[in-house]
Structure 1
Amino acid sequence: MNDRKPERRGLGRGLSALMADTYLTSPEAGSEPRRAESHVPIEFIEPNPDQPRRTFEPEKLEELAASIREKGVIQPLIVRNHPHKEGHYEIVAGERRWRAAQIAQLHELPVIIRDLSDTEVLEVAIIENIQRADLNPLEEALSYRQLMERFGHTQEKLAEALSKSRSHIANQLRLLNLPTEVQDYLRDGKLTAGHARAMITSADPIKLAHDAVSKGLSVREVERLAQKPREPAARPAQSRTKDADTVALENDLSAAFGLRVSIMPKTAQSGQVVISYADLEELDRICQALSVS
């Protein structure tokens, strides 16, 4: 088994070229679909086992299959030669269309064949998922973190390349600092991203999330409750409510590390910075980040 980590590189021409391929699957309104390089029997096409998206809603696949029956597959799949099966292909982008085409009982699919490495395949798959509007906030946040951790991309470069604001990417990344119970509410659609972001600085985000769901609280109500002073701590100097600048700095550090970061002032000039981790993998990520010169 090869444990070598993917090469970390800047966005530069690499990601730009990959995104050009990704955009083939989602053309701007009024643009002409890209012509396929060839048509391949559907049984010779296989999904990418490392595809970041794991959930494909049956209802939406049925809708897409109905559209394919009527109009065919308008946008070709992006594939590469299968790394282990001669004459077969592995999907780089377009697994939803492949699944829907099977439901529609198509015998072959239009494809564009690209020569991509394993690392580039994963990168394109992540980018394609981000470009889709149906990602839930947690899936989007996890995609950003993958691009940053595995390929060394910064928030600023991602914002530029994906036509999103840096604050949007930072805010989505902060959702990953919430407890699992809160993330489950968000994943299930019981909370919005606005609700969840408001809970990041709460003293008890799990209780606040439960109250928000059970009582149907608005985002503004959650924001107000989240700003309530924390319970008095054993050390009086740490029980003071943090100012807005400290909270903002906590959020920026949390987004940078992809982990929960707490700043605990002791005096006006001193204090502690605490980085919390849930497992050894997260601890290793902290060590790697701190060791970068």
Structure 2
Amino acid sequence: MSKRLGKGLDALIPSLNVSEDDKVIEIPLKELRPNPYQPRKTFNEDSIGELAQSIKEHGVIQPIIVRSVLRGFEIIAGERRFRASQQCGLEKIPAVVRKFTDQQVMEIALIENVQREDLNAIEIANAYQALVDQFQFTQEELSVKVGKSRSHIANFLRLLQLPEDVKQHVSRGTLSMGHARAIVGVKDDKVKKELANLTVKNEWSVRYLEDYIKELEEAKQPQKNKPKDKRKDPYIDQVEETLRDRYRTTVKIKHQNDKGKIELLYYSKDDLERLLELLQGKIS
């Protein structure tokens, strides 16, 4: 992640630091509630457990930052410390109370997590969209706020166009950002889901997936100056599908008058060697 921040957020970061002049108070955990704008939906339990063990031995060294709200306090920075303290069974936690607007709270929650790379791609996309919806930011204004290029913002927001099943794969990490960017360009949602499932099942690389999508798109293009093909034999369709599943690659069968040829496409030397091993195994 880039260390450059937009001017708006850059001015906010010092307010997250605790100095010797700050008044630190002990706040009961039951009076605290998480930041409602927190984009991170899942926390690493092992990491929280390690922090809890450290707190048991040394206490909470760095106070959390909160703001006063109706019926208690809202956590601005330090939710991991809060969760770990709950796990330890503590009743109170050291905190510094500051004043923040809703917009500042939202921006801080986003930048604190994004800079630490704690969010997955879908959580980042949702956080960006929330800022756009809540404060009517343009993509250009948002790019300045978070210190990222406009294309970076656009690429993440496009991920929200993916079907829910595909977004779940991205959230779990079974699909990478590169895979998601390739799939989101496909128009048909049904095809997007099929591509996602094939990619996860067969462990396709991003390059392999991109080439596979390219093959699909080219197959849809009308052939110029050529007569239209006769309706394809359903049996040939079935055989192609069987071979695609078996060899995990694009398969074309060219058939005419009971004669023809079978083409297996490969996209790298490693891919070719993989196919040769499979074919040799079938022959031997």
Letter in 1 for 2:24: S
Aligned counterparts of 1:112 and 1:41: Cα–Cα separation in 2 = 9
Aligned counterparts of 1:75 and 1:115: Cα–Cα separation in 2 = 19
Letter in 2 for 1:167: S
| Structure 2 spans left out of the alignment, 5+ residues | 225-284
- Structure 1 residues 158 and 233: CA distance shift in structure 2, 3 A: same
CA contact (8 A) 1:37 1:112 kept: yes
Cα RMSD for the two superposed structures: 3.0
Match of 2:36 in 1: 50
* Alignment deviations for residues 221-280 of structure 1 (CA, whole Å, 9 cap, x no partner): 01111223166499x9xxxxxxxxxxxxxxxxxxxxxxxxxxxxxxxxxxxxxxxxxxxx
User: 5 Å matches for 1:210-249?
Assistant: 210-228=197-215, 229=217, 232=220
**CA positional deviation for 1:70:** 3.8
Is residue 147 from structure 1 mapped to residue 131 from structure 2 by the alignment?
Answer: yes
Match of 2:26 in 1: 40
Is residue 59 from structure 1 mapped to residue 46 from structure 2 by the alignment?
Answer: yes
CA contact (8 A) 1:80 1:116 kept: yes
Match of 1:78 in 2: 65
Is residue 121 from structure 1 mapped to residue 98 from structure 2 by the alignment?
Answer: no
Q: Which of 56, 62, 75 does residue 69 from structure 1 map onto?
A: 56
User: 5 Å matches for 1:79-118?
Assistant: 79-83=66-70, 85=71, 88-118=72-102
Is residue 201 from structure 1 mapped to residue 207 from structure 2 by the alignment?
Answer: no
Q: Secondary structure at the match of 1:227?
A: helix
Aligned counterparts of 1:49 and 1:161: Cα–Cα separation in 2 = 20
Letter in 1 for 2:46: E
**CA positional deviation for 1:62:** 0.7
- Structure 1 residues 217 and 56: CA distance shift in structure 2, 3 A: same
Moved more, 171-180 or 222-231: 222-231
- Structure 1 residues 65 and 176: CA distance shift in structure 2, 3 A: same
Letter in 2 for 1:81: S
CA contact (8 A) 1:48 1:90 kept: yes
Structure whose alpha-carbon radius of gyration is higher:
2
Is residue 177 from structure 1 mapped to residue 161 from structure 2 by the alignment?
Answer: yes
Q: Secondary structure at the match of 2:93?
A: strand
**CA positional deviation for 1:137:** 0.7
**CA positional deviation for 1:120:** 3.7
- Structure 1 residues 19 and 149: CA distance shift in structure 2, 3 A: farther
| Structure 1 spans left out of the alignment, 5+ residues | 1-10, 25-32, 237-293
Q: Secondary structure at the match of 2:12?
A: helix
CA contact (8 A) 2:51 2:81 kept: yes
Aligned counterparts of 1:137 and 1:171: Cα–Cα separation in 2 = 10
Aligned counterparts of 1:200 and 1:51: Cα–Cα separation in 2 = 26
**CA positional deviation for 1:209:** 0.7
Moved more, 199-208 or 39-48: 39-48
Sequence identity (%):
40
Match of 1:259 in 2: none
- Structure 1 residues 179 and 233: CA distance shift in structure 2, 3 A: farther
* Alignment deviations for residues 185-223 of structure 1 (CA, whole Å, 9 cap, x no partner): 111211111111111122521111111011110010011
Match of 1:165 in 2: 149
| Alignment TM-score, normalising by the size of structure 1 | 0.62
Aligned counterparts of 1:224 and 1:231: Cα–Cα separation in 2 = 12
